């Protein structure tokens, strides 16, 4: 394999890895991507009978990216309000 071919393969692999998104988000990544405040997301996680798409790995909170998008679409369609006491 020629050095130029190898460079091209490496460049393509790097480009591809940057475009692939993780399946889960940490709490901080969810805050950044959704625009919802950290305290509000924590309220959603701790609310009784919540439909917020999270799960835990030990103590770590993870949010399913695809389900978060669907959840945001659904609460938008339902015109729900996210306020001081989770989702109304």
Q: What is the DSSP letter of 85?
A: T
* Among 56, 59, 58, residue whose Cα is nearest residue 24: 56
17-73 residue pLDDT tens: 666 678 999 999 999 999 999 999 999 999 999 999 999 999 999 999 999 999 999
Neighbours of 67 (CB within 10 A): 16
pLDDT of residue 6: 80
Given a contact cutoff of 8 angstroms between Cβ atoms, the answer to whether 38 and 61 are in contact is no
pLDDT of residue 62: 97
Which pLDDT band holds residue 84 (cuts at 50, 70, 90)?
low
The model's pTM is 0.70
Q: Domain segments of the chain: what residues?
A: 23-87
- Taking phi first (over 0 means left), then psi (-120 to 50 degrees means alpha), and beta for anything else, what does residue 64 get? beta
């Amino acid at each position: 394999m020629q050095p130029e071919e190898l460079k091209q393969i490496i460049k393509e692999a790097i480009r591809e890895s940057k475009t692939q998104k993780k399946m889960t988000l940490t709490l901080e990544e969810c805050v950044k991507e959704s625009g919802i405040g950290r305290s509000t997301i924590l309220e959603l996680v701790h609310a009784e009978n919540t439909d917020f798409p999270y799960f835990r790995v030990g103590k770590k909170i993870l949010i399913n990216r695809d389900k978060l998008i669907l959840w945001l679409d659904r609460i938008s369609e339902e015109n729900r309000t996210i306020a001081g006491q989770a989702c109304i």
